Amino acid sequence: MFTRKTPIYWLLAAVWIVILAWQGLEHRRVTRLARDTTVRRALDIGRTLELVIRSQRRFFGVVFQPSLTAALSELLKSDELKSIALLNKSGEVVAAAGEPLDFTGKGLPQNSVIWDKNTATVINLVDLGNPQPDGQPSSPTIVLPGNPGRRDERPRFPPPEPRPDQEETNAPGPSRSLMDTNNPPPPDAASQPPGNRPERRPGFHRPPWVSEEEYKVLVQQKGFHALAIAISAQAYRTAWLQDLWLRSVIGLFATLSMVGIGFSWRNLGKSSELQMRLLRASEMNTHLREMNVAAAGLAHETRNPLNIIRGVAQLISKDSEAGEPVRKKSLEIMDEVDYVTVRLNEFINYSRPREVRRSPVDLSSAVNDVVRSLNSDLEDKKIKLDLKLETFSANADQQMLRQILFNLLINAIQAVAPGGQIQIVSKKNRATEGYFEIRDNGPGVSIDHRQDIFRPYFTTRKDGTGLGLAVVKQIVSLHGWEVEYLPNDGPGSVFRVNRIEALSASPA
């Protein structure tokens, strides 16, 4: 159902969604920044490693694996760096340090970042060859096993092609190592004049005595084409988790705030409606009070002409010169006037403002006084009255307490049949509280009427006014007590007034 509050709730929902979307985007930005920071850190280490490898290169671009591995191991002493691998063109590891990285059978990976649970592996294609004058790179760095300090362990290229003079004598040329730079080049190359010698490009390049095909195979297997660096992802995951918690807390507070604002707005609306209702109720209560005073005044003023009518009817009924029918009608007028007067008195008694004047009242004495005033009614119906009174003093208005007792007792007398039974019980159920009950063996009250018996003008008797129990309810409420109807164990009714403030001692 659409109300005036619905747009506010939609606005709060939209703000909540915007906040959550904003936090999601911020978390994505922080996550991307943390990933980029990790990758940049790996790239920085890669550039440092390139400088290390460049410093390790020898003639023809050769790097020896033992010295390179020792240099890589020095870099791995940091907890941040997990492993380093140098890959050839086929993606095979030609030199590595740290945790093993396997790229066999996958080919040479392109520039990429591989993330797993604990590490981030950054794979970067590199070329450590010296550039040519035309801008093209020369031969790549070649990683060979062996120890450059021992001549017998120096790696050897395949022997050069035999010269024509060697072919004639069938004498094979000597095998030359890549590092045999002390041996002179072939005589034919050295004896040629400078203008006729083959052009030697600067930087690292293929040795002249190694065929192009063999050199390509060597570069394919031992050439350094890619660098893989596995760096710890702990910093990234820590930043990711911390930011996730931060965004979650912000989202939670945003949710609670939106819900709180929604409830506050709803309560504000309900409070405004309640204030309007209270204002209308106050105005209605004031209006009813004024009408009540006016009605009570009207009822009071009505009693005066009724008393005059009753007096005239009484004189006529006693006049001997009046005929019998006239005197009989006069007596009927008196009865009707008395009936109306009783109801007017009850209405005035119910509608007039009451002010409670509390004082210690002996409950037993109050019960006995009311019983004496109704003794003639008890005797007329031959009702058996049983009193079980526990003596204690009640903090109450004496006249109002007697009014309660009178109304409840007269109600019981009117309910029981001739020869019936009525019981009055009073007792202290706590140190500072007491109660009293008036029981009868009359017909009782049906279940359908038990919620209405204390309402004004509700009665089940033809001659009842419906104000007796309403007055009891009114006085009990003014004292802060409680009155309730209880079904009797057998036939009849039980009216109990409880939570009566009991004083420590009876008045003297």
Q: What is the pLDDT of residue 463?
A: 67
- Predicted pLDDT at 2: 47
DSSP-assigned beta bridge partners for residue 122: 113, 229
* pLDDT tens string 113-164: 888 778 888 887 665 554 444 444 455 677 767 655 544 444 444 444 454 4
Three-class HEC string of 46-115: HHHHHHHHHHHCCHHHEEEHHHHHHHHHHHCCCCCEEEEEEECCCCCEEEEEECCCCCCCCCCCCCEEEE
Helix, strand, or coil (residue 434): strand
Of 86, 179, 162, 174, the closest CA to residue 124 belongs to 86
| pLDDT at position 45 over 90 | no
Among the ranges given (126-135, 181-190, 447-456, 474-483), the one the predictor scored with the smallest mean pLDDT: 181-190
Note the pLDDT of residue 184: 43
Greater model confidence, 14 or 338: 14
Res 246: pLDDT: 92
Please enumerate, as own/partner, the contacts of 101-110 that have beta carbons within 8 Å and a separation of 24 or more: 101/228, 101/230, 103/228, 108/225, 108/226, 109/226, 109/228
Tell whether the model's pLDDT for residue 360 goes beyond 90: yes
Rounded CA gap, 109 and 88, in Å? 10
* pTM score, whole prediction: 0.45
pLDDT at 249 over 90: yes
pLDDT of residue 230: 85
pLDDT confidence of residue 192: 46
Contact 464, 452 (CB under 8 A): no
Residue owning tokens 């893989």: 228
- Evaluate whether 6-128+225-232 and 357-501 have a shared fold: no
The answer on pLDDT for 364 being more than 60 is yes
Confidence of residue 250 (pLDDT cuts 50, 70, 90): very high
Q: Is the pLDDT of residue 303 over 60?
A: yes
Give SS3 for 452.
Answer: coil
The type of residue at 7 is P
Report whether pLDDT(453) > 80.
yes
Q: Give the pair of three-digit tokens for residue 335.
A: 């009865």
Under 8 Å between Cβ of 50 and 57: no
Q: Which fold has domain 6-128+225-232?
A: Beta-Lactamase (3.30.450)
Q: Where are the domains of the chain?
A: 6-128+225-232, 266-348, 357-501
Mean pLDDT of 181-195: 44
Average pLDDT of span 161-188? 43
Total residue count of the chain as it appears in this document = 508
- Which residues, in sequence order, are CB contacts of 503 under 8 Å at separation 6+? 360, 392, 393, 394, 395
Residue range 357-501 in CATH 3.30.565.10: yes
120 has which bridge partners?
115, 231
pLDDT tens digits along 47-65 = 877 777 777 666 666 766 6
Cβ atoms of 426 and 367 closer than 8 Å: yes
